[in-house]
Structure 1
Amino acid sequence: MRPAHRIVERLTLLRRLSDAPRGACAALCLMETLRAVLPAATALATGSLITTLRRGAGTHGIGVPLAVLGSVLLANQVVGALMPPVRTLVSQSIDGVHRRRVCEIAVGDGTLTRLEDARVQNLIRGATGDPSNWTEKTPGDGAVSQLSIVFGYVGLLSAGAVVVAYSWWLAPAAVLPAVLVRVITQRQWIGINRVWAKGIPESRRSDYWAELTSSPAEAREMRLFGFGDWTVRRQQRHRLNHFEPAWREGGRAVSRQWVQFLISAVPLVGIYYLAGDRAMRGQHSVGLMTAALAAAWGVFSIMAGNANAFNVEGALPVLRSFAELERQFAPRAPGPPAVARDASRGRTPAEIRFEGVTFSYAGAGTPVLSDLDLVVRPGEVLAVVGMNGAGKTTLIKLLSGLYLPTAGRITADGVDIQDLGLDRWRGELAVVFQDFIKYHFSAADNIAFGKAQHLGDRPALAAAVRDAGLSRLLDELPDGLDTPLSRSLSGGMDLSGGQWQQVALARALFALHVGATTLILDEPTAHLDVRTEFDLFHRLIGAADGASVILISHRLSTVREADRIVLLDGGKVAESGTHDELMALRGQYAEMFDIQARRFQAAGGHPAEGSAT
């Protein structure tokens, strides 16, 4: 890497100091200044005291130099005591701002395409600045350490000035070897950190396997299937794949420490010998010699400190990953201003159209959807069915703006949803995916996250709980809506799969109650029994109150009540109509329904309550 680029990186670290509180940053700079000049001040004060003693001054004569030396030593102790907490405050403030920026970048992109890229995941892992080992350092660590290095050069100049006062030739003899030791040490850490950064993908794999061993959800299958030991071995293998190259590089650096030792020791021994010899010959005063030798030792102490160089080199990969992450997520060229829907329509649902929509996932050869045309009429209950892999969930993700069509467009009242602005469009939607998130927060928060900007709307929350049929369950919880839904939290409770699905449905209903106009349900009741699902579906339709409803389900007995049913096959709408129309068509839908009905009848049920496939 070019020296100019490395200088720019270090200046970037220093600029991060502006993210810390100004008072704390000013206090840190003051203490760094004092620490930088204290070695020279100590040398001068010591030399002055020795000179005074050799002149035979009495008790009163040594009072001033003794007080000066005492003050310098006291200042050194005070700075040493105050420096760590101030450094920590500045460092953690910088890290807090940095991690917030990483989160803002990660959530700021409207779609999931880039976020799902493995390279981007590695960048996020590298840019987060959350050390998991001894070589990784945070931007805050790097910034305060780079500041210490800068002030270290101030200390170098002040200590060098004391040495020059004794003999000009001692200054380069002390300074140049010290600088050389710093450069060699810095290069060694650069090599270690470069090797470490290359292993980040292995670290991510190791973290995944480690999480499997400690996650309650995975612990059940791990014990049932007996692959716990195998999982631990996989985790260890990936961890060692990451660690061992860095260990080897570190071992090479340690084996070469004798070079730094010789570079430091030989000049220092020579300086001490020659300075002592001159003092014995009377060519210089003992006091001045003492000051010069103390200053020379200070030069090496200032420049030989490896901790700051280590912190800087450990933090630079974080900044590089962050810079690349910013580049990857750089705002695209601004498009036309967001278009507002016709205000005269109020909060009525939009007419949604898929116009020639084609979509392929990154790296996939075959499109999931191909030239698909579909209309969702305002206030319509539309069911979407099809075999696994037909593109049902993909259709919902496209409608939600989580992915953008490869070709074609999706419109709301004739306006492309991208032109509406994805955030504005998502405000119209209440969505429940089959793999919904179980947040380790209170029941109230889990429901209100359906539209987080309305977290405090208790009336809407109560209505969503009622419509989802959760009132009885919440009455049984220790703190009702305020009960944490996780046993890992104090006073928390866990729910069954079916109960969690009701919470997720309440989340979508909450969004409807605070203004969403389209309810989208992707396999929302897979954990519910057939009768409960059937009853809940009717309750949802009633709660929708004029909103459009798009329902994906494998249980055809449930979707038969929809206003219209579309069957996806081959990336297109293969069949469309009411239940009766599709049964009369005797196509794929009728075949699927008959299979489910026969299976359920064989189990003693009624055909209208067909089971899932």
Structure 2
Amino acid sequence: MSSRTVPGAAVSAFARDRAELLLRLTWVGPGLLAGLIVLTVLGAAVPASAAVAVGWLIDRLVTGGSAVAPLAAYALAVLTGHAVAAARQPLGYLAAARVDGRHRAELSRLAAGSDTIGALERPDVQALIRTARADPESFMDGTPGAGALAQLDLIGRALALAGAGVVLAAYAWWAVPLLLAAAVVVHQLRWDEGRQRRRVWRHVPLPSMRADVWSDALVSPAEGKEVRIFGLGDWALERIDGHLRAAYDPLWPVNRRILARQWRQFLLVLVPLGVVYLVVAVDAARGGAPVAVAAAALVAGAGLFDAFADSPTATINATTCLRAFDRLRDELGQAPHREHNPSCTPGSGPPLVRFDGVGFTYPGSGQRVLDDLDLEVRPGELLAVVGANGAGKSTLIKLLAGLYEPTAGRITADGVDIADLGPAAWRGRLSVVFQDFVRYYLPAAENVALGNAAVAPDLAAVAGAARDAGLDEVVSRLPDGWHTPLARTRTGGVDLSGGQWQQVALARALYAVRTGARLLVLDEPTAHLDVRTERDVFDRLAAHRGDASVILISHRLSTVRQADRIVLLRGGRITESGTHEQLMAAGGEYAAMFTVQAQRFQRGFDDRLHEGDLT
């Protein structure tokens, strides 16, 4: 871009940003918007009305006439200004809340509507989300609501400027461009100051987010246990202080430079106003103009500067928020959003799933997690996937769920690429229990029914899923049964153990199966359960395997013996496949791992698969 086109582009972006903010005022509703417009027009009329009233009052005092009418006019102007300010504050707060609420809803819809989670895992995208969230935590954070109201204020100041200019021009037209030019320069200086602060502030989100992690840990009941046991309080405070210094320290030199230059704005206000005031006063003293007209001119002259007295911070911060939202939309929209193709709908039963030459590499990494992987999941079978930590088992599940897209190959269901099915249609037939499942601090029944939020809650299915997961005994001991909140921070709530929470997550997935899912994926679903409870759970799963296909990932090989088929994942590929008996007879890696774990269990140690079991 040439230097000649930069000013034009800057003006275009400036106008676009202000227009975009102004259009958001339509989100507040017609009644509230009409009220704000009326208040803005009334407020804009106050400076000129006050100037005229002052001139009228002085004229009456000089001529000896009655001062009642001008005093009443002046009082009305002043009271109108106060009334407008008093009424506008709550209405402006409500309007900003509506704009910001809708903006945050659209941001949440944008983030939740992303087909995959790869972009959401990136720190730069998380920083964009923080900036675009419009949830101010400091004086430099801005919201679209505040920015939109600032544009309405700008219109009001323009009207006030025009009124004050007319009053001043009636006495001395030359004073209008003089004061106006000075006011514009002062406003531009303030705008540049805001831009300087914002250029530094754009680097704040990442260190500030790191500080928030430790701030939340210090007040969280969950992390609070380790904070106290390990004596992490002072250490965490030092980390918070370090991150905040990294975030805010670069801002102080900028502020010091800005403060050191404030004399320029002082002179730009003092000199032009001083010249106008001096000329008007001398002219009035010599009888060149009536004192009343001179007084009105003095008040109007001050009104020109008042029209530019606002800080542009609200507009700058709001436009930064909007630009972050635009960039976030680009980042989350890089992969095309796939809609459901009705012609690609597979059968209603458990699907035949195939991984055909699937490869996957995480962005920014040169190492392939999966490499030309071929795998078949037959309808209604219980398939166990085993392998050491880091073998790619969880990645395989995320690819199957459509949370990542393969970098090579494809995944099909009944011969149809799951990408062509569309994420919503495919996930409606899929249920997953992840290792890092979410603990929802809701009543027990809602925790389970969240397994399929697309259908109306089915209490019978909730109870059935709880029985299959072994959760019914836990619920029977809760003080308020299914209505008990699963959080001690909730009124009447209780906390659950790790194993009990795992049963809740498993019941959630089984509820999805009872309400339509035909492929159940369990990633270490019983890691926190004792051996007896785990065996009971798998017995129930095995009994229902015909209703849905089940993919089971487990480090405890003794629990996968009853699977219809076991596959070993290593080096990004399936290296062994067969029943437990077949794999043991083959004497390969699976047989070696199983033998090691069995010996460890006999000696009283944990029998789960560890990294060293494959070497």
**TM-score tier after normalising by the smaller chain length:** over 0.9
Moved more, 393-402 or 440-449: 440-449
Map of 1:301-380 to 2, 5 A cutoff?
A: 301-306=306-311, 309-330=312-333, 338-340=341-343, 345=347, 347-380=348-381
Partner of 1:245: 250
Q: 1:141 touches 1:311 (CA, 8 Å); kept in 2?
A: yes
- Of 87, 103, 106, which aligns to 2:108? 103
Moved more, 396-405 or 222-231: 222-231
**How much has 1:337 moved relative to structure 2?**
6.1
Query: Structure 1 CA distance, aligned partners of 2:92 and 2:384?
Result: 60
Query: Structure 2 CA distance, aligned partners of 1:438 and 1:36?
Result: 54
**How much has 1:228 moved relative to structure 2?**
3.2
Q: 1:445 touches 1:455 (CA, 8 Å); kept in 2?
A: no
Query: Structure 1 CA distance, aligned partners of 2:154 and 2:525?
Result: 58
User: What SS class does the counterpart of residue 372 from structure 1 fall into?
Assistant: strand
Query: Structure 2 CA distance, aligned partners of 1:223 and 1:296?
Result: 64
Query: Structure 2 CA distance, aligned partners of 1:447 and 1:97?
Result: 30
Query: Structure 1 CA distance, aligned partners of 2:479 and 2:181?
Result: 71
Partner of 2:495: 494
TM-score (norm 1): 0.94
Partner of 1:572: 573
Q: 1:374 touches 1:573 (CA, 8 Å); kept in 2?
A: yes
- Of 288, 291, 298, which aligns to 1:293? 298
**How much has 1:230 moved relative to structure 2?**
2.4
Moved more, 329-338 or 584-593: 329-338
User: What SS class does the counterpart of residue 304 from structure 1 fall into?
Assistant: coil
**How much has 1:457 moved relative to structure 2?**
2.2
- Of 148, 154, 167, which aligns to 1:162? 167
User: What SS class does the counterpart of residue 594 from structure 1 fall into?
Assistant: helix
Partner of 2:613: none
Query: Structure 2 CA distance, aligned partners of 1:440 and 1:337?
Result: 33
Map of 1:87-98 to 2, 5 A cutoff?
A: 87-98=92-103
Amino acid at match of 1:585: A
Query: Structure 2 CA distance, aligned partners of 1:110 and 1:334?
Result: 7
Task: Decide whether aligned partners of structure 1 residues 492 and 578 sit closer, same or farther in structure 2, where only a CA change above 3 A counts.
Answer: same
Q: 2:371 touches 2:573 (CA, 8 Å); kept in 1?
A: yes
- Of 144, 158, 162, which aligns to 1:139? 144
Query: Structure 2 CA distance, aligned partners of 1:335 and 1:427?
Result: 15
**How much has 1:224 moved relative to structure 2?**
3.2
- Of 61, 65, 68, which aligns to 1:53? 61
Aligned-CA RMSD value? 1.9
Deviation string, structure 1 residues 250-269 (Cα, Å, up to 9, x no partner): 22112211111111112222
Moved more, 590-599 or 412-421: 590-599
Map of 1:56-455 to 2, 5 A cutoff?
A: 56-57=64-65, 61-306=66-311, 309-330=312-333, 338-340=341-343, 345=347, 347-455=348-456
Query: Structure 1 CA distance, aligned partners of 2:180 and 2:13?
Result: 25
User: What SS class does the counterpart of residue 115 from structure 1 fall into?
Assistant: helix
Query: Structure 2 CA distance, aligned partners of 1:501 and 1:527?
Result: 7
Partner of 2:463: 462
Amino acid at match of 2:446: D
Task: Decide whether aligned partners of structure 1 residues 433 and 335 sit closer, same or farther in structure 2, where only a CA change above 3 A counts.
Answer: closer
Moved more, 460-469 or 378-387: 460-469
Partner of 2:520: 519
Unaligned runs of 5+ in 1: none
**How much has 1:152 moved relative to structure 2?**
0.9
User: What SS class does the counterpart of residue 303 from structure 1 fall into?
Assistant: coil
Partner of 2:21: 13
User: What SS class does the counterpart of residue 250 from structure 2 fall into?
Assistant: helix
Query: Structure 2 CA distance, aligned partners of 1:336 and 1:24?
Result: 38
Amino acid at match of 1:384: V
**How much has 1:517 moved relative to structure 2?**
0.6
Unaligned runs of 5+ in 2: 1-5, 611-615
Q: 2:157 touches 2:308 (CA, 8 Å); kept in 1?
A: yes
Query: Structure 2 CA distance, aligned partners of 1:427 and 1:550?
Result: 16
Query: Structure 1 CA distance, aligned partners of 2:384 and 2:154?
Result: 65
Query: Structure 1 CA distance, aligned partners of 2:424 and 2:336?
Result: 18
Moved more, 165-174 or 427-436: 165-174
**How much has 1:326 moved relative to structure 2?**
1.8
Deviation string, structure 1 residues 57-86 (Cα, Å, up to 9, x no partner): 2xxx43433332232222112101101011
Deviation string, structure 1 residues 543-575 (Cα, Å, up to 9, x no partner): 455211110011111100111111111111111
1:598 matched to 2:596: no
Query: Structure 2 CA distance, aligned partners of 1:261 and 1:160?
Result: 22
Query: Structure 2 CA distance, aligned partners of 1:217 and 1:444?
Result: 23
